[in-house]
Structure 1
Amino acid sequence: MSALAWTAGLSLAVWLWLLLGQGLFWRTDVRLPPRREPDVWPSVGVVVPARDEASVLPESLPSLLAQDYPGHAEVFLVDDGSSDGTGVLARELSRRHGGLPLTVSSPGEPPAGWTGKLWAVRHGIGLARARGPEFLLLTDADIAHGPDSLRELVAAARTGGFDLVSQMARLRVESAWERLVVPAFVYFFAQLYPFRRVRVRGSRTAAAAGGCVLLRTETAGRAGIPDTIRHAVIDDVALARAVKSGGGHIWLGLAERVDSVRPYPRLHDLWRMVSRSAYAQLRHNPLLLAGTVTGLAVVYLVPPVAFVAGLVAGSTAAAVAGGLAWLLMTATYVPMLRYYGQPLPLAPLLPFTALLYLFMTVDSAVQHYRGRGAAWKGRTYARPAPEQR
């Protein structure tokens, strides 16, 4: 057998393992668990960090203010040094739409060792905790919630005894590039952090989706959130790890009533979204980068290459192994495309999307070593901040 056939066989073996041994990551039926409404609804503080979000706030903030929640809830929007009038617009939207009480405040620039978002979250949590809520809802400024979103999250947390309940918001898929890249983004995330394993007590898999995280206030205090993760660029995963390592019970799944309204119409926009944190995900480790690039190539690129090359060169073994691996890859991607309402012919194009992600990951490392690091909205986090003692 040729080297290509052996490599294709390895890829096929990996896909068989991913299909059966990676927590059924490819299934999209992990939604809010069974829940019942409590007799007494707990109070909730909703914390919204916002930096230059005037373009999306008219779609997202009114959905929070209009929550049909039987208990007491307040919204705390933290204007993180915006230059586009985010805070002023938030107050105007509150006056126009009414609904839940809204407090708009600003913490000033973050000190050394803090990311801007987590500094804003810290400020918002401080304001919310002064009201003594049982739960905190941490949600991004580009996230729109259905009118019953909060009550469903709280009911799920109360019924299941969860310390953290997080839903991965349904991202926008309107442009051609969004259709090609966005479902794959969620698919890859689920492959790294299988949702079914996240909720298992004692498992090492911990993750959350930062756009929608319901967290017990007591748990946040016990885990030192957000101070213990103040330098984290991928703050949602860091938060979930902090909660789970402290004995907390967490749940993560796909959203039904939570949607991102942020557009990513161009490839450049999606590229920046992924590359700004991809190397941080690899802990800024060159060896992990090399392993990731190799893994992406073997798992996603070898199957179509082996299939085509095998047919051209008359290598039956390479063509069969590559074709079967490509078929498994395509089949596991179909449920995510259905969840996003996208045409199924996009499924065989997953290797091309994976190639884009490979380039984005390498670019993330290049930007890191050029000192640009995780650049976002005028701030750059070149390297993890050192621990303060």
Structure 2
Amino acid sequence: MDVVVWITAASLAAWLWLLLGQGFFWRTDLRLPPRAEPGSWPDVCVVVPARDEAAVLPDSLPSLLAQDYPGRAEIFLVDDGSSDGTGETARTLADRFGGLPLTVDSPGEPPAGWTGKLWAVRHGIGLARARDPEFLLLTDADIAHEPDSLRELVAAARTGGFDLVSQMARLRVESVWERLVVPAFVYFFAQLYPFRWIARQGARTAAAAGGCVLLRTEAAERARIPDSIRQAVIDDVSLARAVKRSGGRIWLGLAERVDSVRPYPRLADLWRMVSRSAYAQLRHNPLVLLATVLGLALIYLVPPAALITGLVADSAPTAVLGALAWAVLAGTYIPMLRYYRQTLWLAPFLPFTALLYLLMTVDSAVQHYRGQGAAWKGRTYAAPDRG
């Protein structure tokens, strides 16, 4: 039992460090920074890459068309080889709802070395540059915006002098599996990329949420976006890193008025969403995968296992240390559950959700070595060329 006690003590120590030393990642009070309306509103072009999104566009595109933006704004929806009539659906919605001007175009199949989404983004940015906008809003086809979303983003970027302002859209949580898995997805993301560290100048931490990224056009050109990240499967984090490396100031926080309308009703849907990019996050490195599995086990699985083991084996130190570690991890999850308006009784089940994510990550590696990694909507992407 001495070994078990020491392992449990290490888990508790890790949680105390995470609680106080990881950028207070568990706090959910970081929203758009203070902002003031500019004297003159800059031109903005909205770029929406879309592949087989006809089912969600009726719930998302009208919100973009209805943006209450005082300056000039225009939408470019780039149809990335859809087979479900995405482009025609977008044109029909624009005719029905009116609002901001909409252009629908298609770049054709991406060449070797490009992901489909980034090839579509490249085409959309190319169309937008003819309008010479100061800002580009890169937003996914499944993201719905409140009418003042664009003006709030621009005001925040102008006021704070940011080159990139991104909001983590509130994901849908309606099915049982969405309630169990989705809040944890954002929690784990914030643990990996603490939002408070991202805005610090000089700090290495950089990340964005691809569903809602306002990007200064000058910064995009300076960072060679998207050409410099053309192979990235996790394109939002890669984009933020490129902008920050080129000297840009970036900001990321949680959204109150930007929502994802994409449903993930079954565990299989969520599993595909996570596993398609999890091994890419680990740079396709088996040693990093091993360290990640061991780390997840120590941090999330040891506390409940130690409590049960201590109670069964009548080892008070093991049970107490396990209970304390479990209490800390559950407590750090409560703010995220409140943000998603979910019952707090889900907090003690975070270790089970972490086990699911561990299995998804391992499955992502297995699919990669089977040649099926990073598969999404009919395309499979290999590991990027290191050169």
Quickly name the TM-score band, shorter chain normalised.
over 0.9
Aligned to 2:342: 342
Superposed CA deviations along residues 201-246 of structure 1, whole A, max 9, x for unmatched, are: 0001000000000000000000000000000000000000000011
The amino acid across from 1:265 in the alignment is P
The amino acid across from 1:204 in the alignment is R
Superposed CA deviations along residues 137-189 of structure 1, whole A, max 9, x for unmatched, are: 00000000000000000000000000000000000000000000000000000
SS in 2 for 1:359: helix
Aligned to 1:358: 358
Shift of 1:289: 0.1
Aligned to 1:147: 147
Aligned to 1:12: 12
SS in 1 for 2:154: helix
Runs of 4+ in 1 over 4 A off after TM superposition: none
Superposed CA deviations along residues 260-290 of structure 1, whole A, max 9, x for unmatched, are: 0000000000000000000000000000000
Query: How far apart, CA to CA, are the structure 1 residues paired with 2:262 and 2:385?
Result: 28
Shift of 1:386: 5.9
Aligned to 2:332: 332
Are 1:41 and 1:71, in contact at CA under 8 Å, matched by a contact in 2?
yes
Structure 1 gaps of 5+ residues are none
Are 1:163 and 1:215, in contact at CA under 8 Å, matched by a contact in 2?
yes
Query: How far apart, CA to CA, are the structure 1 residues paired with 2:178 and 2:385?
Result: 33
Aligned-residue sequence identity (percent) comes to 80
SS in 1 for 2:252: strand
Are 1:15 and 1:328, in contact at CA under 8 Å, matched by a contact in 2?
yes
The amino acid across from 1:250 in the alignment is I
Is 1:120 aligned with 2:100? no
Query: How far apart, CA to CA, are the structure 1 residues paired with 2:95 and 2:385?
Result: 40
Aligned to 1:171: 171
Aligned to 1:284: 284
Are 1:114 and 1:385, in contact at CA under 8 Å, matched by a contact in 2?
no
The amino acid across from 2:198 in the alignment is V
The amino acid across from 1:117 in the alignment is K
Give the TM-score, by structure 1 length.
Answer: 0.99
SS in 1 for 2:257: strand
SS in 1 for 2:103: strand
Is 1:378 aligned with 2:363? no
Shift of 1:382: 2.4
SS in 2 for 1:76: strand
Query: How far apart, CA to CA, are the structure 1 residues paired with 2:220 and 2:342?
Result: 38
The amino acid across from 1:141 in the alignment is A
Q: What is the root-mean-square deviation in Å for CA atoms of aligned residues?
A: 0.6
Is 1:237 aligned with 2:237? yes
Query: How far apart, CA to CA, are the structure 2 residues paired with 1:42 and 1:82?
Result: 32
Superposed CA deviations along residues 343-370 of structure 1, whole A, max 9, x for unmatched, are: 0000000000000000000000000000
SS in 2 for 1:213: strand
Query: How far apart, CA to CA, are the structure 2 residues paired with 1:275 and 1:4?
Result: 31
Query: How far apart, CA to CA, are the structure 2 residues paired with 1:42 and 1:383?
Result: 39
Superposed CA deviations along residues 102-136 of structure 1, whole A, max 9, x for unmatched, are: 00000000000000000000000000111000000
Query: How far apart, CA to CA, are the structure 2 residues paired with 1:259 and 1:240?
Result: 21
The equivalences for 1:267-278 within 5 A come to: 267-278=267-278
The amino acid across from 1:307 in the alignment is L
The amino acid across from 1:291 in the alignment is A
The equivalences for 1:1-389 within 5 A come to: 2-385=2-385, 387=387
Shift of 1:383: 1.9
The amino acid across from 1:243 in the alignment is V
Query: How far apart, CA to CA, are the structure 2 residues paired with 1:385 and 1:54?
Result: 33
Query: How far apart, CA to CA, are the structure 2 residues paired with 1:382 and 1:155?
Result: 39
SS in 2 for 1:263: coil
Query: How far apart, CA to CA, are the structure 2 residues paired with 1:56 and 1:163?
Result: 29
Give the TM-score, by structure 2 length.
Answer: 0.99
Are 1:142 and 1:261, in contact at CA under 8 Å, matched by a contact in 2?
yes
Structure 2 gaps of 5+ residues are none
Query: How far apart, CA to CA, are the structure 2 residues paired with 1:285 and 1:130?
Result: 41
Superposed CA deviations along residues 14-36 of structure 1, whole A, max 9, x for unmatched, are: 00000000000000000001000
SS in 1 for 2:273: helix
Shift in CA distance, 272/264, structure 1 to aligned 2, threshold 3 Å? same
The amino acid across from 2:56 in the alignment is V
**Between Structure 1 and Structure 2, how many residues are aligned?**
387
